Amino acid sequence: MIDISLIREKPEWVREQIARLGDEKAPIEDILAADARRREIILEVEDLRRRRNESSKQIGGWMGAIKKLENELKLTTTTGQPAGEIESRLNALHQQMDEAKDDTRRLGDRIATLEEELRATEAEIDEKMLWVPNLPHESVPYGPDDSYNIAYQPQGAPLPTFDFEPKAHWDLGPALGIIDFDRGVKLSGSRFYVLRGAGAHLQRAVIQFMLDYHTNNHGYTEIYPPFMVRSAMFVGAGQLPKFVDNIYRDAEEDYMWLGTAEIALTNLHRDEILEESDLPLNYVAYTPCFRREKMSAGRDVRGIKRGHQFDKVEMYKFTTPETSYEHLDLLVKHATDICEALELPYRRIEMVTGDLGFAAAKKFDVEIWAAGCQEWLEVSSASNCEAFQARRANVRYRPADGGRPRHVHTLNASGLALPRVMIAILENNQLADGRIRVPNALRPYMGGKEIIEPID
């Protein structure tokens, strides 16, 4: 979440930034009203506590005076002196003290009522803050939607050319016997498929290659997280409450299935204070991913491009605020390094404000060219979330020069997402007879196989 002090101190600026994002649901006015009431309650409680303390001190003084008069009264009974005046003063003090005690109790009751309201108000603020998106970095270009995104010139391998009409993977895979759509539907319904033989081997090879490349060449530490985590982890990563409809979850227990390893990696250091000397922390994780996203019929969902279950290798960084944008550039480079190694044409896309998403302050996509379906496929989104996730997950670091702990910056990028890498490999490396050339980098992971042949 963003720092509430920004909303409190610069409400107009925050409204302008959210308007640039095109977010119409951020409850800024409700937060301001609740925050104003919160401060009113705090001031009133402080005043009531002051009055209660003064009353308690006054009662203490009266109790001392009463004790003294009671001792004087005992002396009069032994000496035979008149006691009427002392008794009158005692009665007056007792009456004043009883009234003060009643007033103190009323003050205490009022304080208890206000403290309960304060807890409810703070809970309301916390809940509403979860609906406020991250604010765009000043360098993010304005644009209302993804049609305004900036596509840079293709890089990497040249776009493949053929002396025959290239086929799409939904034709190539079944013809080779390596993708079985019918049995996937039989097992799990629409948007599922089965990989067989060299198809399953190829996917495993791509995953292993990417993990090895990131750990050996880029210095990432590999993580193998649970695929199910508690709902609080989704809140920490910025997935809840906004994207609740996209999440598969256990109906009886507080478990949700990862839509990306980012969710687990964000919370790996939840409620921890790291040392600045340990930063940056660079993690990479492979997980299957599960999403309930609604899918329309047509070209966009044909084949294995989009499904309810897919595999992904995720890169994740914890950095200082001063270095996070350098690491964003590194994430993009590390994603494109994989494209280069797999001989895939790629291009970078700079996202405009209207296509940043919920948690990112700045984001780049990496797309690869698929020659059969004739389209650019997104295989990585590299995001700098600044302190947005760290504030939600309470991840901080202790500055080397002392001072109070600060929130880290978190960054993430796919490195890369399957099965779209599989699509490009199959379509870009197809031969005229339908067989597939295995990219050089993957051959050691495929037992030296150079060509994927049809399964008998």
Model pLDDT for residues 392-403, shown as the tens digit of each residue: 999 999 999 999
Cβ–Cβ under 8 Å, residues 281 and 220: no
Condensed to tens digits (0 to 9), the pLDDT of residues 181-199 reads: 999 999 999 999 999 999 9
> Annotated catalytic residue: which of 378, 398, 406, 453?
378
- Residues 270-288: what's their mean pLDDT? 98
Residue recorded with tokens 């350098």: 326
Mind listing the domains of the chain with CATH numbers?
A: 4-129 (1.10.287), 146-452 (3.30.930.10)
> Annotated catalytic residue: which of 55, 324, 380, 381?
381
Phi-psi region of 394 (alpha: psi -120 to 50; beta: other; left: phi over 0): left
> Annotated catalytic residue: which of 20, 291, 391, 396?
291
**Residue 183 known to be catalytic:** no
Lowest mean pLDDT among 85-89, 249-253, 298-302: 298-302
Query: Which pLDDT belongs to residue 86?
Result: 67
Task: State yes or no: pLDDT of 207 exceeds 80.
Answer: yes
**Residue 381 known to be catalytic:** yes
Condensed to tens digits (0 to 9), the pLDDT of residues 70-118 reads: 676 676 765 555 567 766 776 777 777 777 788 888 899 999 999 999 9
**Residue 291 known to be catalytic:** yes
Confidence class of residue 298 from pLDDT cuts 50, 70 and 90?
low
Contacts of 148 (CB under 8 A, 6+ apart): 141, 142, 352, 354, 355
> Annotated catalytic residue: which of 306, 398, 435, 443?
306
**Residue 378 known to be catalytic:** yes
Query: Which pLDDT belongs to residue 70?
Result: 67
Task: State yes or no: pLDDT of 417 exceeds 90.
Answer: yes
- Residues 432-445: what's their mean pLDDT? 98
- Report the C-alpha gap between 355 and 362 in whole angstroms: 10
DSSP structure string for 148-210: G-EEPPPBSSPPP--SS-PPPHHHHHHHHTSEEHHHHHHHH-TT--EE-THHHHHHHHHHHHH
The per-residue pLDDT of the chain, averaged, comes to 93
> Annotated catalytic residue: which of 20, 347, 391, 420?
420
Q: Which percentage of the chain shows pLDDT scores above 70?
A: 94
Closest of 380, 393, 388, 160 to residue 267, by C-alpha:
393
**Residue 406 known to be catalytic:** no
Condensed to tens digits (0 to 9), the pLDDT of residues 39-59 reads: 999 999 999 999 888 887 777
Condensed to tens digits (0 to 9), the pLDDT of residues 364-416 reads: 999 999 999 999 999 999 999 999 999 999 999 999 999 999 999 999 999 99
Query: Which pLDDT belongs to residue 81?
Result: 54
Specify the 3-state DSSP secondary structure of 416. Answer: strand
Query: Which pLDDT belongs to residue 28?
Result: 96
Higher pLDDT, 61 or 417: 417
